């Protein structure tokens, strides 16, 4: 065995003292990650299909935000493809000392491109959300100021995520050295770039989530709309939490030399965030299906009727209780008896 073969078959990271490398059957959580990925992929696909159905069969019109939504979904699928490919290779939550040097090339290759797909998918989905906001709230007399804020955020997001992808691509010279560390060249430390971009991503999610809230809750809405807004707001909170979780694990990822282990958690949080963004994008359009569907209309009508019936029963119970507790009729009876007229 020559020196190069020895290097390629060596552990990608020196194991801790007292720990031996296990290349054949390392401890992992690949099944958990694949199951999680499948769940998010199915949920996202159902969401995008419902949006497409609403656009084709009910609204019968496509807007610019639809282009960004479908582009974001396509990039999301590309991200999941990278995750699935990694699951067939080194796996997930595998310590780097249980991986050979020669196996890190494919791992780093798919990590790099999955990060690019993630950034561009999030960019498209956020632009779609902001475009949706401008169209939804424009009839309420606040279109100018609100639209300016939305369009400004769109430009900022497009520039930010595009710059992030370009900076990632330029982090090594030559480009191939990003995933093949045996290629001669140089690389910069991207920790500050990635942690900063993750923090800005969290802030961006919070701003987009809170932006329409003061408008939404001032509107007079039916029960169905209130439930819908509450659900979208709840998904938005999960989206912010996912971005925050990604920030935390990104810091851990750069603080530890065990790249293969900590990058797995980053991938899961990315999947969660993209799925939530996609749901938030599609909810306003999908709501048209619920509004047009007689089944859902009957369900909500039944809920409102049941609510009204319960309220009526409660009111009747209160009146009956008050009449039972009212001592006036009994006192009048005593007075009639005392005057001799009670038994006449």
**DSSP secondary structure, 16-42, as one string:** PTT----SSS----HHHHHHHHHHHHH
Contacts of 284 (CB under 8 A, 6+ apart): 132, 136, 232
* Residues 115-166: tens digit of each pLDDT: 999 999 999 999 999 998 888 776 555 567 888 889 999 999 999 999 999 9
The pLDDT score that the predictor gives to residue 310 is 57
How would DSSP label each residue in 261-330? Answer: HHHHHHHHHHHHHHHHHHHHHHHHHHHHHHHH-HHHHHHHHHHHHHHHHHHHHHHHHHHHHHHHH--HHH
Which DSSP symbol is given to 92?
S
First-residue to last-residue Cα distance in the chain = 123
Per-residue pLDDT tens digits of the chain, which is 344 residues long: 578 888 888 888 998 898 888 888 888 999 999 999 999 999 999 999 999 998 888 878 888 889 999 999 999 999 999 999 999 888 999 999 999 999 999 999 999 999 999 999 999 999 999 998 888 776 555 567 888 889 999 999 999 999 999 999 999 999 999 999 889 999 988 888 899 999 999 999 999 888 887 777 776 766 666 666 777 778 888 999 999 999 999 999 888 889 899 999 999 999 999 999 999 888 877 877 766 655 445 544 554 565 555 555 555 554 545 554 554 443 443 333 333 343 33
Rounded CA-CA distance 113/104 in Å is 14
- Asked if 247 and 196 count as a contact pair (C-beta separation under 8 A), the reply is no
pLDDT (0 to 100) of residue 211: 84
- The whole-angstrom separation of Cα 141 and Cα 138 is 6
Distance between CA 100 and CA 107 in Å, rounded?
11
User: CB atoms < 10 A from the CB of 30, how many?
Assistant: 18
Place of tokens 């009212």: 326
Q: Is there a contact between 273 and 122 (Cβ–Cβ < 8 Å)?
A: yes
Give me the pLDDT at residue 270, please: 95
Strand positions, DSSP E, 119-215: 172-173, 186-187
> How many CB atoms sit inside 10 A of residue 58's CB?
15
Residue 333 has what pLDDT? 38
The predicted structure's pLDDT at residue 336? 37
């Amino acid at each position: 065995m020559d020196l190069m073969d020895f290097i390629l078959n060596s552990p990608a990271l020196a194991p801790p003292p007292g720990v031996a490398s296990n290349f054949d059957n390392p401890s992992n959580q690949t099944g958990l990650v694949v199951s999680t990925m499948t769940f998010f992929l199915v949920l996202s696909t159902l969401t995008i299909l419902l949006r497409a159905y609403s656009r084709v069969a009910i609204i019968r019109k496509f807007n610019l935000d639809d282009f960004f939504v479908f582009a974001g979904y396509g990039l999301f699928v590309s991200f999941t493809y990278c995750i699935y490919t990694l699951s067939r290779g080194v796996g997930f939550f595998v310590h780097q000392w249980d991986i050979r040097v020669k196996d890190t090339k494919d791992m780093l290759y798919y990590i790099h491109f999955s990060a690019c797909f993630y950034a561009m998918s999030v960019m498209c989905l956020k632009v779609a959300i902001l475009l949706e906001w401008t169209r939804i709230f424009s009839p309420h007399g606040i279109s100018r100021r609100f639209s300016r804020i939305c369009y400004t955020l769109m430009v900022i997001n497009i520039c930010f995520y595009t710059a992030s992808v370009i900076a990632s691509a330029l982090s090594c010279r030559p480009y191939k050295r990003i995933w093949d560390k045996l290629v001669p060249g140089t690389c910069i430390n991207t920790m500050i770039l990635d942690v900063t971009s993750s923090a800005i991503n969290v802030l961006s999610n919070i701003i987009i989530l809170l932006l329409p809230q003061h408008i939404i809750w001032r509107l007079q809405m039916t029960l169905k709309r209130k439930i819908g807004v509450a659900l979208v707001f709840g998904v938005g909170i999960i989206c912010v939490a996912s971005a925050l979780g990604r920030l935390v694990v990104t810091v851990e990822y750069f603080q530890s030399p065990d790249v293969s282990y900590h990058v797995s958690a980053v991938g899961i949080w990315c999947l969660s965030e993209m799925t939530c963004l996609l749901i938030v994008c599609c909810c306003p359009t999908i709501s048209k299906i619920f509004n047009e569907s007689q089944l859902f209309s009957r369900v909500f009508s039944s809920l409102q009727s049941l609510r009204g019936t319960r309220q009526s029963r409660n009111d009747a119970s209160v009146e009956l209780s008050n009449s039972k507790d009212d001592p006036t009729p009994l006192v009048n009876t005593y007075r009639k008896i005392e005057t001799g007229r009670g038994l006449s």
